[in-house]
């Protein structure tokens, strides 16, 4: 039984490593992350405080939601 599992797992692993369909998604995610970092580096004084405020509000809302439940 373990031998059959090992063979099936090996076949699945080979199939997944040869599959290139997910490669585009990763490339687009990396490009989006690079653009976000570039924008943040270009406008640090205007975007930085706004993002900090958003995360602070989200954090306080999560704290309130966890204390009420």
pLDDT of the chain, 69 residues: tens digit per residue: 557 766 776 776 676 666 666 667 778 888 888 888 887 777 767 666 777 788 888 888 888 888 876
pLDDT score, position 24? 72
pLDDT score, position 2? 59
Parse the chain into domains and list their residue ranges.
2-68
pTM over 0.85, yes/no: no
pLDDT score, position 23? 67
Q: Please, which residues have CB within 8 angstroms of residue 47's CB and are 6 or more apart in sequence?
A: 39, 40
Question: How far is 17 from 36, CA to CA, in rounded Å?
Answer: 29
pLDDT score, position 8? 73
């Amino acid at each position: 039984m373990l031998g059959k599992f090992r063979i099936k797992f090996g076949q699945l692993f080979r199939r997944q490593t040869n599959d290139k369909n997910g490669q585009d998604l990763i490339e687009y995610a990396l490009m989006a992350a690079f653009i976000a970092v570039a924008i943040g580096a270009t406008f640090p004084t205007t975007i930085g405080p706004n993002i900090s405020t958003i995360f602070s509000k989200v954090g306080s809302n999560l704290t309130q939601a966890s204390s009420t439940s």
